[in-house]
Amino acid sequence: MGRTEAGSAADLAVVIPVHNEQANIGPLIEEVDRAFAGSPWRIEIVVVNDGSTDGTAGVLRAAGVGRPHLRIVDHRRNRGQSASLLSGVTAASAAWIATLDGDGQNDPADLPALWARIADGGARRQRTMIAGHRRDRKDTWLRRTSSRIANAVRGTLLRDHTPDTGCGLKIFERQMFLSLPHFDHFHRFLPALARRAGGEVESVPVRHRPRLSGASHYGVGNRLWVGLVDVLGVLWLGRRAEPWRVDADTRSVADRREAEHPDAVHPEAEHKDLGE
């Protein structure tokens, strides 16, 4: 089955945010289609063009020919990955979302097996997030080191029990995602935010590939130092989410009076006696 025809409901929406990925996004869309070809699941693909200034828009228009299951969301200017994910998930029609980075380093061939963990579990898997874990990173030493430091800091402070929260390959319930607090860089804290909302997070090993074209937009500066302020904010949110325990008496006035003076004759009882 795989592709979703126009007007039919999708089981899973694959959301891909991109910024200046003209050489990568076309092949990535083809890989997503091949990954689900012949599967029992209907998919839609939502690509968010986050203010690209290269030829990404033209590649997406060409990719849309003959693909009614491909939806394109355009940002007029670059808004960042968190805003792009929010735009893509909002535009998606499926109840479940899978996300991929637009640089082609996540392997779409991992998606069917990860989605099967949710689909085969039925209702008991609701509010579960599947988070990819890139055990064999195909990145530069700088990216591996900065990511390792950022994951260690976040894991220690937030206790999200997710070894690779920065992996772009995730699967989660659309409604749960939309119910989370949204702020700049919130995509880096999705496991912690999902746990805060009462969800479960399951980390699963996934493949990772080298970037074949283009340049990374990330380094130590925006992976760790900028994120430290956000970590403190997520910590505050986590504490605000703790359930309040309020000892409140919700009984009516008459019930309270009866409990306080069980042997007293109340006006209601006197009127009843007189009537008899």
pLDDT tens-digit series, residues 21-32: 999 999 999 999
Give residue limits of the domains in the chain: 2-240
Q: Which residues is 47 bridged to in the sheet? A: 16, 72
* pLDDT tens digits, one per residue of 251-265: 567 776 777 777 666
Phi, psi torsion values for 216, nearest 5 degrees: -70, 145
Q: Please give the average per-residue pLDDT across 167-193, as a whole number.
A: 88
For residue 76, count CB atoms less than 10 angstroms from its CB and return exposed for 0-12, middle for 13-18, buried for 19 or more.
exposed
What's CA 224's distance to the chain center, in Å?
Answer: 20
Measured distance CA(52)–CA(191) in Å, rounded: 28
* pLDDT tens digits, one per residue of 60-99: 999 999 999 999 999 999 999 999 999 999 999 999 999 9
Q: Check: CB of residue 17 under 8 Å from CB of residue 88.
A: yes
Q: Is the pLDDT of residue 112 over 80?
A: yes
Q: Please give the average per-residue pLDDT across 104-125, as a whole number.
A: 88
Q: Is the pLDDT of residue 56 over 50?
A: yes
For strand 96-99 and strand 200-206, is the pairing parallel, antiparallel, or unpaired?
Answer: unpaired
Q: Is the pLDDT of residue 164 over 70?
A: yes
Measured distance CA(37)–CA(29) in Å, rounded: 12
Q: Please give the average per-residue pLDDT across 50-59, as a whole number.
A: 97
* pLDDT tens digits, one per residue of 211-255: 887 766 544 455 555 555 566 555 555 555 544 444 455 656 777
Q: Check: CB of residue 99 under 8 Å from CB of residue 28.
A: no
Q: Please give the average per-residue pLDDT across 176-186, as a whole number.
A: 86
CATH of domain 2-240: 3.90.550.10
Integer angstrom CA distances of residue 44 from 74, 146, 158, 181, 197? 17, 33, 33, 25, 26
